[in-house]
Structure 1
Amino acid sequence: KPDWPYFYEIKGQFLFESGNPAAAVVPLREAVTLAPNEPLIRVMLGQALLGTNDPKLVDEAITNLRTALAREDSSAMGYRQIAAAYARKADAAQAAGAKKQFMAQAELASAEAYFYEGQLRLAKEQAKRAKAGFVDGTPSWIKADDILAFEVPSTN
């Protein structure tokens, strides 16, 4: 059994891209164990966990994606995946307040994904929706507000 994390990453990626996300989870978890500070491996693990469509794995996906985004905070793919995870949490939530909070998190993550892809109009649309779901002044509200306030610097 090699101790090279990228062996497991490649194996997991192959399984995922072959349409078997459940089989990809085990080698990707091993890759994360061997290289816990590699954000792209964690994003891939989060994507595979979500790809299983197992509601019990959504929290693990969110944990891995948050860790990845803390290290690689401009990963549009990471934000896309965590947006999908929060949307699933919103769909599964029983309480209206929890549903609203998870949906706001999903919208903010979508806004950040669009922002890092350079799609400012779409980023601002999502940020506006997200901001309405957060308490004024909270870190998430401020992030959404920052996206809304962002203007492309002039070239003059």
Structure 2
Amino acid sequence: MRRLALTLLLAMGLLTGGALAVGRPAEMLPDPAAEARAQEIGRELRCMVCQNQSIEDSEADLARDLRRLVRERVAAGESSDSVRDYVHARYGDFVLLRPPFNLVTAPLWALPVIVLGLGALTLLRMRRRTAARPGPAPLSEEERARLAALERDI
């Protein structure tokens, strides 16, 4: 029974380890409101190593450094926008999980619409080709007789 309890405890620790990326007391701010604000900012910033994770979810060294930077600036009393703007100015649009809409990022935002439109056009063209294609020609008398003979042999 003890082994089972220890095994379950170990499994729970392994399963929640990645979810608590900021769970280290050394990284957390003592003020819960400031820590919540820092985590909110961190969830909007992309880990430059993992690329599909926020810095709050990533275990990469760069993400850890960015978390520390965000917390330092929040602790210094900067607003959320100024912290975000500082990181954005330093790392560019790529660091934002939701990049702004501008001339540089417009193709990124438009790409899903373009791909869906091209897919819809392709489906319409395929449908028209199928509808316009004539059906099979009717059997001639000779072919019908041959088919009847084959059916009798079966």
TM-score, normalisation: structure 2 = 0.30
Q: Which has the higher contact order (CA 8 A, sep 6+)?
A: 2
Larger Rg: 2
